[in-house]
Structure 1
Amino acid sequence: MKILITGRYGQLGSELHDLQANYPQYQIVFVDREEMDLSNADQIIEVLDKEQPNVIVSAGAYTAVDKAESDQQLCDAINHLAVKTIGDWAAKNKVKVVHISTDYVFDGNSETPLKETDTPDPINVYGLTKLKGEEALQTSGAVYVIIRTAWVYSTYGANFVKTMMRLMNEREELGVVADQIGTPTYARDLAQAIMDVISAQNFVQGIYHYSNEGKISWYDFAVAIKEINGYTTKMNAIASDAFPTPAKRPNFSLLDKTKIKDTYSVQVPNWRTSLEEMIAKI
């Protein structure tokens, strides 16, 4: 079986690249924007025609959430139109697609963990383009699994954990938003979940939610980073309206993982365990 994975140098793509040694039975091809520019539909089709994969992992995305508010056309091209192109090609060629989406398809007003059946209602451009990508894949006729995730971090790329570690090294005091609730996702764990889905005996089509276990705020996350590293930085809990950003963020992003655990027997580690593992690797 041949697997083509987009977003090679992203956080998730990098973790999937590390995992490939554990799956010698598969031929895995990685592409990034140099090989397959997701804003160029013709190039997407050209690469897929050449590689002829059996499974496409759509891990590449436009993820600059604030920049997306002013860069709507490119964001839509990558997060929506590219997914439509991949889905249409996959349907025509009878190929499976595993597509990575986001908690940002929701408005953040829920008070209970978000299920796959909950109605999406994005509050920013990034979330809207990701939802349109999901819908395009669902209507393409391709056999698909969509995995929504949240608060992704990794030893690779730029992310909250690395930013906090840098700031805690530089500053004596930090304010972190305490009224946005969810659970972080260690990209290594998500990469393993994706490989579990691909390797499963039955490919059960549908939307699934995946993040690490637990329920915390960004402030709680930052405090844990401080504790694990032994920093002495004074941490202040602040409200999100004290830290305005171009794109609105959902206040509640806690994902219910029951479906992916029941369907694919995916193991979901606790957020703190995974954070300690990631920091130890750095």
Structure 2
Amino acid sequence: MRILLLGANGQVGHALREALPALGELACATRGGRLSDGTSCERADFDQPDALAPLIARVAPDIVVNAAAYTAVDRAEDDREAAYRINAEAPGVLAAACARRGALLVHYSTDYVFDGRGTRPYREDDSAAPLGVYGASKLAGEQAVRAAGGRHMILRTAWVYGLHGHNFLRSILRLAGERDELRVVDDQIGTPTSAGLVARTTGTLLTQQLRRSGTWHLAARGETSWHGLAVSIVEHAHARGMLDRIPKVAPVASSEYPSRASRPAYSCLDSGLLQREFLTPLPCWQDDLARVFDTEHGRRG
């Protein structure tokens, strides 16, 4: 089985580079044609969607895993064309190319397709109503993948973090090493999910016979605020010697940090469908976070 991984330098892409080789021959692609360690690889620039179909034809994969995306939520409000080109047009071109050769496309989406007015974790059949350009462009990407008519697996995930790439965990660790006090929003509630969990679960799903194309939620269980996540991050880091001291982590309202784009106040995802259909249990977010730190601590040890 030949797998093509797109967006191999991102935080999910980096984790997928560890999870996918066990399934078959893995070809990686990045925007610049090089992996983060300098190794050359395939080039796939989602800002140039027309270049994607020739890549699929040349590599001839059985499975394409798309971990590339425009993720700058605030910048997307003023960069709408680029966000839609990368998050909607490019996945549509990719899906059409996969459909022509009968390849399975795994495509990641986001909790930001929902408006955050819900009172229970969102299920796959709940109505999408994104608040900003980022969420709207990701929803358009989902629709383009479905419209192509090929075999596809759309996996919505949420609050993705890890020890690679740009994300909340790395920002908190950096700030915690520099400041005595952190002020973190506590009125946005979601489901923190590690890039490693996304990658490992994707690998598990691909070992099974996909009975139908569809959309599934892939997130850890439970919920917390950004403040709750930050408190857990600094506690884990301090316990493993990654921080010399634990700074004060003060809860603040979103209104104290106005941003260009609106964020959903509640965007937890219900991953029950994926767990039932694929018999794949998912951990609570606390255990998922602990595993990230335990793995890193083991590597350093």
TM-score by length of 2: 0.90
**Alignment correspondent of 1:94:** 102
Residue 38 of structure 2: aligned partner: none
1:25-52 Cα deviation digits (max 9, x unpaired) = x111110112011121221111111001
Q: Are residues 1:32 and 2:30 paired?
A: yes
The CA distance in 2 between the partners of 1:81 and 1:20, in whole Å, is 26
- SS in structure 2 opposite 1:249? coil
Partner of 1:243: 257
Q: Distance in 1 between matches of 2:49 and 2:165?
A: 26
The answer as to whether partners of 2:20 and 2:203 remain within 8 angstroms in 1 is no
Alpha-carbon distance in 2 for matches of 1:232, 1:31: 39
Q: Quick one: distance in 2 between partners of 1:202 and 1:215?
A: 29
Match of 1:271 among 285, 288, 299: 285
- CA–CA separation in structure 1 for the residues paired with 2:127 and 2:174: 37
Q: Which amino acid aligns with 1:262?
A: R
Deviation sequence 1:59-83 (CA, Å, 0-9, x none): 1101111111111111111100001
Equivalent-residue separation in structure 1 for 2:157 and 2:210 (angstroms): 22
The equivalent position to 1:232 in structure 2, one of 246, 250, 269, is 246
Post-superposition CA distance 1:259-282 (Å, at most 9, x none): 110111223122112212222306
| 1:81 aligns with one of 67, 83, 89 | 89
Alignment match, 1:19: 19
Match of 2:269 in 1: 255
Q: Secondary structure at the match of 2:20?
A: helix
Residue 176 of structure 1, CA deviation: 0.6
Once the two structures are overlaid, the 10-residue window that deviates more, 262-271 or 150-159, is 262-271
2:57 to 31, 49, 57: 49
Q: Distance in 1 between matches of 2:96 and 2:22?
A: 30
* Segment drifting more, 227-236 vs 37-46: 227-236
Alignment counterpart, residue 196 of structure 2, candidates 188, 192, 196: 188
Match of 2:241 in 1: none
Aligned residues of 2:49 and 2:86 also touching (Cα < 8 A): no
Counterpart of 1:158 in structure 2 is 166
* RMSD of aligned residue pairs (Cα, Å): 1.2
Equivalent residue of 1:28, what SS?
Answer: strand
Which residue identity lines up with residue 15 of structure 1 in the other structure?
A
1:136 matched residue in structure 2: 144
Aligned to 1:117: 125
1:201 deviates by 2.3
How far does residue 21 in structure 1 lie from its aligned partner after superposition? 4.2
Provide the residue aligned with 1:61 in structure 2.
69
Q: Which amino acid is 1:60 matched to? A: A
TM-score of the superposed pair, with normalisation by structure 1 = 0.96
Structure 1 pair 133–21 and aligned structure 2 pair: CA distance change class (3 A) = closer
State the Cα distance separating 1:202 from its structure 2 match: 3.0
Map of 1:104 onto structure 2: 112
The answer as to whether partners of 1:6 and 1:13 remain within 8 angstroms in 2 is: yes
What code does the residue aligned with 1:5 have? L
Aligned residue for 1:147, secondary structure, equals strand
The superposition leaves residues 162-203 of structure 1 with CA deviations (integer Å, 9 ceiling, x where unpaired) of 111111111111111101111111111100111112110234
CA apart distance, 1:249: 0.6
Percent of paired sites with the same residue = 36
